[in-house]
Structure 1
């Protein structure tokens, strides 16, 4: 094991203790929570180190940076596209990334559905919902979720398996709790509507600064960058 791999392993052990404590507080099982390593600031070698120490979920934000990394390591682990996705870049992502966390508009849904049909596959998507209402964040307004689901209900090649949100950057992670709780409430609401293409099992929420509160409020995927992956 290299020095860098050992450093990642040490950081992961510290994170695991925090995850387990959050699960204990929420009476949840540890296996309900998966770590996505956010690798936008590191190179392909660092991704190899992460995979070698057992981190199997890789999250990339930018298509142009992700493609050369995916070319080297795409046959290992599960790749998540977690950044804002331009419609004209969808063709680069479908078929490479099994999970897309940033579905936030009908035009993108149409393109993902088109690309899924061309590849004879179903694209697993997380609907990004802007729970906080911040204008600087992407995502559907909660007021638009029902209309979006109705408009996409006939798309056979996308499946909405989860919801994603980003909380405001705050000094005290307790201040983000209402955002995560709000996303959980939307999970319950959408599942009650019983759209055939949208059964929500996953919640992608929580980052390095607030993942413990996110776990307490139901996160199944936490997206960890700086606390786990040190930039070059």
Structure 2
């Protein structure tokens, strides 16, 4: 109930303020598990995607956003819970595995799950190499992967900015990608790498970004 009310209000307000260009919503299944795999330019990506998609979208967010004290902390918890965020710790290999398990649970519950294969925000606008967690989720859940390309969100909230700005943005959703039995016959490592590279290529075709060719790093304090 809270999610629906908040989403409807925020989505209407966002469309008036930002007049986003949204293409390809027909590619998102109305029901059942689906992975939304997007490029990552801004903290605001995790607000833009849930508000653009006409069904509930879950995504991972730093546990810090759920643990703050006082009125600000309560408001943060309320907002992230209402937007469908799943709290997660990040930093160790064990925590990375736990994060994937949380994502897998969301998909097994038949929900939509958003993930950024680059791992963290691009600070130079290039598209970085994808990490293979997205392929693990696709293979284990059997869910289709819908590639997502965001543009302009880095101008809404540039790195270091606390107050969102008005900027033109676009969100493009590509055709769903299915990874079936042919990958089950491959060794897990190469299969995950090939699937991830296919997903990143689809994102690049939608976004037109220059490919960095390397993995992005996690600056201290950066978001999921």
Normalising to structure 2: TM-score of the pair?
A: 0.31
